[in-house]
Amino acid sequence: MRRRHLAIPVALAALSISSVLAAAEGSRSASPIAMVIHGGAGTIEREDLSTELEASYRDKLKEALLVGHGILKQGGTSLDAVEATIRLLENSPLFNAGKGAVFTAAGKNELDASIMEGHTLRAGAVAGVTTLKNPISAARAVMEKTRHVLLAGEGADRFAAQIGLEQVPSDYFFTERRWQALEKRRAEERHKESEADKTMGTVGAVALDRKGNLAAGTSTGGMTFKKHGRVGDSPVVGAGTYANAKCGVSGTGHGEFFIRYAVAHDICARVEYLGLSIQEAARQIVLEDLVEAGGSGGVIALGADGTPALVFNTSGMYRGFVDDSGKTHVGIYQEPIYKQ
């Protein structure tokens, strides 16, 4: 297989002792399980969130982590854990994905999602879907039921309907909060004070299962006031989502930068080719390259030993991590959530 070209010392350096021993014994059953999630990065200040809203975010992130962990604990695949976790976040109005998707300039909702399985490099994605309750499941279906990687627009909606995925009327995606964000942005445009989206809210998950397999997924409504037909990084494999045998990444932020800098793939490439830790690779891209370029956002990532990285260059990122024991760590602002 073409991907088996790793230099052995680099591969060994990236693995924990326990997983090296497990691999040496020819058994991967000892792999720890882990999951990281995000619910979007952006300008999130403490004073912007009421106590109740902040508690709702923290509770939903924890609930999502426990859903994923429950699947992994029972021996479920990382792909199942990623899909189920993202579906839960898509069904919440809190996040800019599924139910809570932001509006385009024309006042519509166009949703993007992708999913990728690390050990097979299989991937699936949908872009610009308008009638699907859970775009992440459509992304998975593209991966598993077609010969393609990315379906867009009407064709993607139709494919999902044909295979029986749940359809919703367009007003399902109406939330007052996102509509107000559009109105505010329209007013800013009229006064020519166009500014970037303050809060985003895309969702993503990366999981590691007992077999040591990684998977990553991302789902979004895109960016408020985007042009009809605009596709961001979230459904673009290598930009907003990437997973291979060593690394899984999901990003959130100003998608055009994530596409141009091939953010998710570049993090995995630095782990694979330079032997960097997942945390150092994520830090270099998000806190150096993207900052220099002016691209705001963040990423969540997992290494093959379950080491998490949660890095963002904005004032906040809804995020969380659950370790093998089931202990959850959740954060919103610039706050340490676990010991690195």
Looking at 117-125, 130-138, 156-164, 231-239, which segment touches ligand ASP (CB under 6 A)? Answer: 231-239
Token look-up 């900052």 returns: 291
Q: Counting contacts by CB under 6 A, is residue 316 touching ligand ASP?
A: no
Among 32, 76, 232, 248, interactor with ligand ASP by CB under 6 A: 232
For the beta carbon of residue 138, count every other beta carbon within 10 angstroms: 28
Is residue 255 within the footprint of ligand ASP (CB under 6 A)? yes
Strands (E), the chain: 34-42, 111-117, 122-129, 150-152, 203-208, 214-220, 241-243, 247-253, 297-303, 308-312, 316-322, 328-331
Q: Is 190 helix (H, G, I), strand (E, B) or coil?
A: helix
Which listed range, 125-133, 143-151, 220-228, 326-334, lies at the site for ligand ASP (CB under 6 A)?
220-228
Total residues at interface with ligand ASP (CB under 6 A): 14
Q: Which stretch binds ligand ASP (CB under 6 A): 10-18, 19-27, 171-179, 228-236?
A: 228-236
Total Cβ atoms within 10 A of residue 288: 11
Question: Would you count residue 253 as binding ligand ASP (CB under 6 A)?
Answer: yes
Name residues whose C-beta falls within 8 Å of residue 321's C-beta, 6 or more positions apart in sequence: 34, 35, 36, 37, 65, 300, 308, 310, 328, 329, 337, 338
**Which one from 85, 131, 199, 202 is the annotated catalytic residue?**
202
Burial of 8 by CB count in 10 Å (0-12 exposed, 13-18 middle, 19+ buried)?
exposed
For ligand ASP, the closer CB: 222 or 303:
222
Burial of 180 (0-12, 13-18, 19+ CB in 10 A): exposed
306 touching ligand ASP, by CB under 6 A:
no
Q: Which of residues 8-67 bind ligand ASP (CB under 6 A)?
A: 40
Count CB-CB contacts under 10 A for residue 174. 15
Residues paired with residue 167 on neighbouring β-strands, in sequence order: 132
Shortest Cβ 302–ligand ASP spacing (Å): 19
Binding of residue 220 to ligand ASP (CB under 6 A): yes
- Based on CB atoms, which residue is closest to ligand ASP, 247 or 264? 264
With CB under 6 A as the contact rule, the residue among 252, 307, 313, 328 that binds ligand ASP is 252
Among 9-17, 69-77, 157-165, 233-241, the segment contacting ligand ASP (CB under 6 A)? 233-241
Is 202 among the catalytic positions?
yes
Closest CA to 178 of 195, 146, 201, 150: 201
Distance CA 268, CA 249 (A): 8
For ligand ASP, give the closer residue by CB, 40 or 316: 40
Chain residues binding ligand ASP by CB under 6 A are 40, 96, 200, 202, 220, 222-223, 232-234, 240, 252-253, 255
Active-site positions read: 202
